[in-house]
Homo-oligomer: A and B are copies of this chain.
Amino acid sequence: MSLLDFFLRPRKENTAKVAKERLQIIVAHERSTRGGPDYLPQLKQDLLDVIRKYVAISPDQVTVQLDKKDDLSVLELNIMLNGDKKPGEDDTAQPHVEDKVSP
C-alpha cells in the first residue's frame, strides 16, 4: 500500500463533519540505537509554528497524537482548516493530545 493509497483509503468518519480542507502531518522516527534522543514531543510545537506561516490555525483545530511501539515513535498532527472545529470543541480548548504507548 503506497502512502497515497493510505491517505485515500475510505475512513469511518461522519462525512458530514469532514473538514472541507485538512492537513495531516506525520513524523515517524525509527531508532535502532536505544536511548537516542526522542525529539518528537518538542518537534510538535515547531511544526505548528511552521504551518502557521502558511495558514492561521487555532488550538481547537488541531489534534495531536503520539504513538510509540518498539523502536518506532509516530507523531501525528491533524489540522482541520478553514475554521472547521472538531466536533464538541469550544474556542478555549487546548490542542487535544493523546499519548498512546503500545507495549
Interface, chain A (partner B; CB < 8 A): 1-4, 6-9, 19-33, 36-37, 39, 42-43, 46-47, 50-51, 53-55, 67, 69-70, 72, 74, 76, 82, 102
Residue pair B24, A28 in contact (C-beta under 8 Å): yes
Copies of this chain: 2
User: A43 CA to B24 CA in the complex, in Å?
Assistant: 13
Majority SS of interface residues in chain A?
A: mixed
Residue pair A26, B3 in contact (C-beta under 8 Å): yes
Given A24-B28, A26-B28, output 12 extra A-B contacts at Cβ < 8 Å: A3-B28, A4-B67, A4-B72, A4-B74, A7-B74, A20-B31, A21-B31, A21-B36, A22-B29, A24-B29, A25-B27, A39-B55
